Amino acid sequence: MELQAVLMAAGGGSRMPDLTYNTPKPMLPVGNKPLMWHPLNLLERVGFEEVIVITTKEVQKMMSTDPKMKDVKMKLDVVCIQEDGDMGTADALRHIQQKIKTDVLVVSCDLITDVALHEVVDLFRAHNATLAMLMSKAHDFTETVPGQKGKKKTGEQRDFVGVDQSGKRLLFMANEADLEDGLSIRKSIMRKHPRMHIKTGLVDAHLYCLKKAVVDFLADNKSISSIRGELLPYLVRKQFSKTTNCPKSKDDADDQTQKTADGSTNSTELLICSRDEPLLQLAQERSCWNDHRGDMSEAYHGGKLRCYVHIMDQGLCYRVNTLAAYIEANRLASKLLEEPAVHPSAVISERCQMGPDSIIGAQCQVADKTSIKRSTIGNSTTVKEKVKVTNSIIMHGVTIEEGCNIHGCVICSNAVIGRGADLKYCLVGNGQQIEAEGKHRLVSRF
Amino acid sequence: DGLCNTDDIERSKTEGKELTKEEKQRLRKEKKQQKKNKEKNDEKTSHEGEKKKNKKKKEEQPAGSASQPPAQPSPKVPAPAPPPPAAAAVPVPASEAPAPADKPAKSKADLKAERRARQEAERASKGKKGDVGQPAPTGKLKAPPSELQPVVKRLPEHVQVDNPEVVKKLAKKLERQQIPLRSDYGYKVSLFSHLHQYSRKAPLTQQLGIPSTVIHPAIVRLGLQYSQGIVAGSNARSVALLHAFQQVIRDYTTPPNEELSRDLVNKLKPYISFLNQCRPLSASMGNAIKYIKKEISNIPSQCKEEEAKIKLLNCIERYINEKIVLAAKAIAKYSIEKISDGDVILVYGCSSLVNHILCEAFEKKRKFRVIVVDSRPRLEGREALRRLVQKGISCTYVLISAVSYILPEVSKVFLGAHALLANGYVMSRVGTSQIALVAKAFNVPVLVCCETYKFCERVQTDSFVSNELDDPDDLIVTRKGKTQLEHWQKVPSLGLLNLVYDVTPPDFVDLVITDLGMIPCTSVPVVLRVKNVDQ
């Protein structure tokens, strides 16, 4: 087997507390499908047959009841972890170390993308890389976020990513928070790669191909708890460390004895040697290829640990971890899905005006003289007459009485919007009731 | 095997098909061989003495006549040694009548044994020369029987992309093996429209699923490395191929009711098709694959799976060691004799063997300098330059357009080869034939270094009939911010041609240095013949 897929669906959604109040983030509807359905769909389309899903018990329960999750034909091996255990992504990987038999592809549940996955995996295969990840040029979210007054500059700390001239090899990665007194780059890196492009406007898609040796390394190093925050910068730094060259040993037996003899020191080292190392060396020596030009060193500067990144400049790639991203994703969901925008079981009266960008869920009832534009309406929602819904996200089981005017809102499940209400850029929580004739602007109601 | 031959010719005769010209030629050869054998036998028996000679003549003749129509130069061939005496023994009693009076004391069996022993002794004393002479025809004859069976002509090596039937057949074959078909890219120059032209930006993995289940991951990785040029160069590709096969063999388990010797070969076939789609196989890879397939088929059926696997892995190690590593050492040893102090050596592109030779010569304290000639679009010479300068050799670097200006300084030209063809032509990186031509014009000796495992039975006199087309977008270059050829596809009369190989005629090559020694270019067929016999 070449790759095992792992879906991380235990995240809390800490950056959108309003939405995840009642519904855990992996089950938030995007385009009327749970959020975690999208990365699973990507994996299924590419050809995976099994996925290990790391999630919480709550999500697992919801997964088993949700009809959309039954569409997923892959075998889902669900591993539950404690919600409040404060487990990082690397801790989760360590938890399932026994199940990992080969190289692993880690995906986050909030990734919605149409990337050609083979681009990332090809980098991983061709260069025998230790890490291959996906990044994308960030898009600005221009829509007003409901419930937030004014454009809140959340002061997101920037990520600095350094790549080499080809744009594929990852040389440097740091978050602004860790760089207290300026960005410093080691001379050894500059000597090997004198031309480096440093980019800041990139979104990390949290899709990583990792070698099995990394998972084993994590098992021994319990201090690393987050893949993105700690493991990745460690691996990127380790590329240029002098101690990464593995000891020249002829067979596995030697490796084993060395491990036990040295005890602690070797177990904290990342052993990247493969069997038949001498043959691979011979092939590389005889090959007339080099990945860089201008200095006297061989291909890859003789380094065995290599990190690669594929930067998408076209196509969709969203991480739904903020409210703005959630709204944007919903808007674009209709483009991603192959199903018809209007569910066949929805009852829509003839005198309803529906825009092409809208998605109507199952068993909806939409009455006459309504206008639904650029909106997503969830399952079992009732929309009465003379309602105008634009640019909004309406989740499941919502009742919208007559004469309402809803613009740019997010209305969570089972809410009731009273007659004649006029809502603009509002965020209505689960089960809330908006009184009749209410007029609200930029309000969050819980 | 000779007996099989008999059956085939018998069969084709009885089936009433007219024997083709080749078969007639073969029969003629066999008859000649037969006569030669008889004469040789007669010569031999003249040593033994009168009586024995008579006996021998009588037994050889019936033996000869018994196997008259097909060739049976069997008495000399070591393997079927027991049968001929047995066959000879049968007619002997028939002709026994006149003889027995002369041999009262010894029994027939003793005499037979003595004769056999003497035959063996003489065979051994004759040495390799005799054996080579005799088994060679059988080698040649062994090859035809397999082709005689299906009378349909199969040309597995010839790529015919402009023939839609052949393309359809290929597509069907790939579909059967569950391998995606790689589509051609861009406008092809008409002279080369029979070859494939792929784009590097459309790898075959686009159409494969992730994770790959049909094709072993090591092979997928190898195919990617080939198509992206990460593993390039004849030796590197063969070593990487054998390494990948080692991994495949390690991960292989025999399915129930199957034999390893047959099933593993069938498993390898789709992998080879896949690699062929990623990048056309080189001659050295072809020979390596033939060797592996032969080794696998020769595994006895009672051999346990583990043992068989270990045996195959060792075979691969041995092959690489003998044919690549030790061959390089041998070639370096021979070449160093040809490099004298004060030499100016010209090399072209990046040949791993030539680089190895020069580094070894430098270590043996020869004083020489090197001129590295390079050509677009690959610019492999830069890598050769790096390796030589790293060792401390003083180098000059020019592009191929300057070769006629630089040649007056040059004392020798060392060229590497991708393959050596059966008619003595050298197939190498495009541009090599130009270098050889100019060197000939300047009377500079041209030495080609090539291991014997790259010798190929193909015959080619021009670079058109069989070649490889690389990605045409490689020719596009950006200078001062302008990319002139960016939209070459939109110009209807423009075609970009990026050839990879060309053939150099043997008149331009003065010497070929192989691990068997230094031979002239025209002796390649002899080496091939000897190789076939050894196998």
Report pLDDT digits (tens) over A289-300: 998 888 888 888
The CB density around residue B270, as the number of other CB atoms within 10 Å, is 19
pLDDT at B405: 96
Close Cβ partners of B337 (under 8 Å, ≥ 6 residues apart): none
Tokens 């056309």 sit at which residue?
Answer: B280
Pairing of strands A170-175, A159-163: antiparallel
> DSSP character for B322?
I
Cβ B233–A279 below 8 Å, yes or no? no
Contact residues, chain A, for B352 at CB < 8 Å:
285-288
Give pLDDT, residue B308.
92
Q: Which residues of A touch B203 (CB under 8 A)?
A: 118, 122
Quote the minimal CA–CA distance from B36 to chain A in Å. Answer: 48
| B237 → chain A, closest CA residue | A283
Q: What is the pLDDT of residue B257?
A: 86
- Identity of the highest mean pLDDT range in A189-203, A422-436, B147-161, B499-513: B499-513
Q: Which residue of B has its CA nearest to A125?
A: B221
* pLDDT tier for residue A179 given thresholds of 50, 70 and 90: confident
Radius of gyration of chain A (CA): 25
Instruction: Point out the residues of chain B with pLDDT beneath 70.
Output: 1-22, 39-107, 124-157, 535
Task: Name residues 67-126 of chain A within 8 A of B (Cβ).
Answer: 116-118, 121-122, 125-126
Using 50, 70 and 90 to split pLDDT, how confident is the model at A273?
low
Q: Does A252 touch chain B (CB under 8 A)?
A: no
**What's residue B59's pLDDT?**
46
Secondary structure letter of residue B178 according to DSSP: T
Nearest to A47 among B210, B236, B386 (CB): B210
The number of C-beta contacts closer than 8 angstroms across A and B is: 102
**B window 172-191, beta carbon within 8 A of A:** none
Determine the distance in angstroms separating the CA of B239 from the nearest CA of chain A, rounded to an integer: 6
Considering only CB atoms, A288 lies closest to which of B233, B243, B246, namely B233
Contact A107, B210 (CB under 8 A): no
B205 touches chain A (CB under 8 A): yes
Which of the residues A287, A292, A300 would you substitute to probe the B interface, choosing the one with the greatest number of B C-beta atoms within 10 Å? A287
Task: Tell me which range, A190-199, A264-273, A355-364, is most confidently predicted by mean pLDDT.
Answer: A190-199
Which of the two residues, A256 and B185, has the higher pLDDT score? B185
For strand A439-441 and strand A393-394, is the pairing parallel, antiparallel, or unpaired? unpaired
Model pLDDT, residue A184: 87
* Chain A CB within 8 Å of residue B225 CB: yes
- Look up tokens 């069996």; give the residue: B109
Which residues from chain A sit within 8 angstroms of residue B242, using beta carbons?
279
What are the residue ranges spanned by the domains of chain A? 3-243+305-324, 341-445
Contact indicator for B523, B423 with CB cutoff of 8 Å: no
Q: Which residue of B has its CA nearest to A280?
A: B240
| Intrachain domains A3-243+305-324 and A341-445 with the same fold | no
Answer yes or no: CATH 3.40.50.720 is held by domain A341-445: no
Inspect the interface and report whether the beta carbons of A279 and B221 lie closer than 8 Å.
Answer: no
Q: Indicate the range of A116-125, A184-193, A382-391, B132-141 predicted with least confidence.
A: B132-141
Structure confidence at residue A150 as a pLDDT band (50, 70, 90): low
The answer to whether the CB atoms of B205 and A276 lie below 8 A apart is no
The predicted structure's pLDDT at residue B93: 42
Structure-derived torsion over alpha carbons of residues A241, A243, A249, A252, reported in degrees to the nearest 10 = -80
Q: Is the pLDDT of residue A191 over 60?
A: yes
d(CA B377, CA B498) in angstroms, rounded, equals 8
The dihedrals phi and psi of A345, each to the nearest 5 degrees, come to: -85, 0
Question: In CATH, which superfamily holds the domain spanning A3-243+305-324?
Answer: Spore Coat Polysaccharide Biosynthesis Protein SpsA; Chain A (3.90.550.10)
Whether A261 has a pLDDT exceeding 90, the answer reads no
- Secondary structure (3-state) at A188: helix
Looking only at the bridges linking them, the beta strands covering B368-374 and B395-399 are parallel
Identity of the residue in B211, B220, B246 whose CB atom sits nearest the CB atom of A48: B211
What's the burial of A24, exposed, middle or buried (CB within 10 Å: 0-12/13-18/19+)? buried
Residue B383 forms contact with A (CB below 8 Å): yes
pLDDT band at A275 (very low <50, low <70, confident <90, very high): low
Q: How large is the average pLDDT for residues A113-133?
A: 92
Sign of CA pseudo-dihedral A44, A46, A48, A51: negative
- ipTM for this model: 0.86
From first CA to last CA, the distance across chain B in angstroms is 14
Residues in chain B: 535
Whether B392 contacts chain A with CB within 8 A: no
More confident residue, A1 or B476: B476
| Candidates A288, A293, A296, partner chain B, best to mutate (most B CBs within 10 A) | A288
Among A422, A312, A337, A325, smallest CA distance to A111 is for A325
**What does the buried/exposed string (b/e) look like for A125-163 if buried means 16 or more CB atoms within 10 Å of the residue's CB?**
bbbbbbbbbbbbebeeeeebbbbbeeeeeeeeeebbbbb
C-beta atoms of A3 and B211 within 8 A: yes
Mean pLDDT score of chain A, rounded to an integer? 83
Q: In Å, how far is A106's CA from the nearest CA of chain B?
A: 13
Contact B221/A at CB under 8 A = yes
Residues in chain B closer than 8 A to A126 (CB atoms): 221, 224-225, 228, 230
Q: Which tokens belong to B465?
A: 């009939």
